[in-house]
Amino acid sequence: MEKGYFITGTDTNVGKTWATIALMRYFKSRGQSVAGMKPVASGCLIQDGRLRNEDALLIQENASVPIDYDLINPYAYEFPVSPHIAGVKNPVDLQWLATKFELLKNMADIIVVEGAGGWCTPLNDRESISDLARALALPVIIVVAIRLGCINHARLTYQAVKQSGLNCAGWIAVCTDPELLCRDENIQTIKSTVHAPLLGLLPYSQVADFNFLSTQMNI
C-alpha cells in the first residue's frame, strides 16, 4: 500500500475534490487513518478573518485526526484564477510545501493530496502542478471528467504524467455531463488507450453522497 496519492485532473472543475473525499472515506472504511492536503487553492473566502477554501475545508473535515487548516492548505488565494496570477505577491515555494507535506505524512497512514487545476497549471513563474507532484514524489491518480473531449484530455494528461517520470497509479472517471452521448463508449476508449487501471467510476449527481461515492472506488 502506498503512503499516499497525488490527485490531478484533466482540467479544472472535473471533480478532483469529490474524488479526493471519496478516496479518503474509502481508505477509512478499510481501517486506515487518512489525511488530505490541498497545498494551493484559489478562490478562497474570508472566514474568521482568514482566507479559507471550501474544498480544503472538506478535506480537513474528512481527516481521521484533527489537523490545523494551515497545514492542509498552506497557500490560500482570494481570487479564483490560476495560482501564478492569484499568488503574484505571495508565490508558491515548492520546498516549503514539501516540508509541510513531511509533517502531514507522519499524522496518518494515507495522505491524499489534491492538486489545483490540471497537470500543467502554473504555480509561479517557473513551476507547475507537475513540479509539485515530483517534489512530493507520490503516485499520481488522474481524475477525468466524462464529457465531450474527455478522450483527448485523458490521453494527453496520462502521457504528460508518464513523461514526468512519476508512477500513474490509475484514473477515476467522474460523470459530469448527464446529457453526454455514448458515455460508456467514451469510458471504454479511455480504458483501452490509457495504460493505467480505472480505480473508480463516479456517476452523475448534483449533490455529493460521499459515503456512496467511496463504495465506487477500487484501489
Binding residues for substrate: 42
CA triplet 196, 200, 201: central angle to 5 degrees?
115
Residue type, 8: T
Question: Which residue numbers belong to the known binding site for Mg(2+)?
Answer: 17, 55, 114
Annotation: binding site:
17, 42, 55, 114-117, 174-175, 203-205
Apex CA 172: angle with CA 168 and CA 125, to 5°?
60
C-alpha cell at 111: 495522505
The dihedral formed by the CA atoms of 102, 13, 58 and 49, expressed in degrees to the nearest 10: 90
User: Of the residues 16, 28, 38, 100, which is catalytic?
Assistant: 38
The residues pairing with 122 across neighbouring beta strands, listed in sequence order, are: 128
105 classed as catalytic: no
Contact 37, 5 (CB under 8 A): no
In this structure, the chain runs to a length of 219
Cell 493530496 found at: 113
Give the residue numbers of the binding site for ATP: 55, 114-117, 174-175, 203-205
Q: Residue 61 and residue 67: Cα distance in Å, rounded? A: 9
Residues annotated catalytic, as ranges = 38
